[in-house]
Amino acid sequence: MRKRTLGSQGLEVSAIGLGCMGMSFSYGPPPDRREMIGVIRAAVERGVTFFDTAEVYGPFTNEELVGEALAPFKGQVVIATKFGFKPDPGGGPRWAALDSRPEHIREVAEASLRRLRVDRLDLFYQHRVDPAVPIEEVAGAVQELIRQGKVQHFGLSEAGAGTIRRAHAVQPVTALQSEYSLWWRKPEAEVLPTLEELGIGLVPYSPLGKGFLTGKMDESTPFDGGDFRNLLPRFSREARKANQAMVTLLQGIAARKRATPAQIALAWLMARKPWIVPIPGTTRQHRLEENLGADALELTPEDLRGIDLAAAEIPIQGARYPEALERLTGR
């Protein structure tokens, strides 16, 4: 597995990371814990050194899972986690309350250190921008944690260009995590140029469109009752039927390149910039192998032009999030 450096702060990670959220959260009943530990450790064996979690995934259980799985590899891997939500003790939606007060950030850091079984958080993201707390205070709180040796790198998630600049002026931001893929390209307008100017890496989550771009589902694919895609307008039956054109495009290119649609989608992302590191999630080892195969896939300039021209002719149907959650992004 090749390595990449996230921006100019020197954080080197594998070219493809592993998003661990779905191993305990969001996509229906949690899979078997021992099997998920096996998937994470198989990723390490294949050269993956970058793993993504958050306190709110579960809540808390995903950090505990990742901490147990990666305990034998202390010092060999980079673990990213997040603060900024206040999990609802009554079991309500994870986005029910934002909380990026400095005292809460410190509390989350201490708890995440324990659950992840580490002495320092490698990359600590603000999960969503909290309009009640100036971003300068947030950056200052993380800066103090860095001075104390409890955090190594500061990150933001789904922040807008202006917020990124303000945070970076207080404490250099190493990476921005944002949804980015062939069917969500909004970051290209303002965010990517800002990251390039400031020397900040990009970590695209949902690089495979929450599974849709793999070509493994269509409008008739059922979701478990606990699968959060049931709440997403882009995953309505009508939207999935309309958006199948993007999958058809990827399937055609994959056939020519002797690859899979998922590998084409990931290779396209990595070809955009050398400081982009996608974190596809999976709960199956054979899908892990498939995703990591994108590291060896080279798309030529002609391939990339063809993909962009064809994709520009495909209007994507359906909002990516319900309105309540979409309001938390891009601020």
Alpha-carbon gap, residue 264 to 307, rounded angstroms:
10
Hey, which residues are catalytic here?
A: 57
Burial-class residue 311 by CB neighbours within 10 Å (0-12, 13-18, 19+).
Answer: middle
CA 74 to mean position of chain CA atoms: 22
Tokens 């600049």, located at residue? 165
- Output the six-digit token pair for 321: 């999030």
- Output the six-digit token pair for 203: 């970590």
> Are 58 and 25 within 8 A, CB to CB?
yes
Q: Calculate the alpha carbon distances from 260 to 135, 178, 212 in Å.
A: 41, 24, 13
Alpha-carbon gap, residue 80 to 63, rounded angstroms:
10
- Amino acid type, 50: F
Q: Are strands 18-19 and 3-6 parallel, antiparallel or unpaired?
A: unpaired
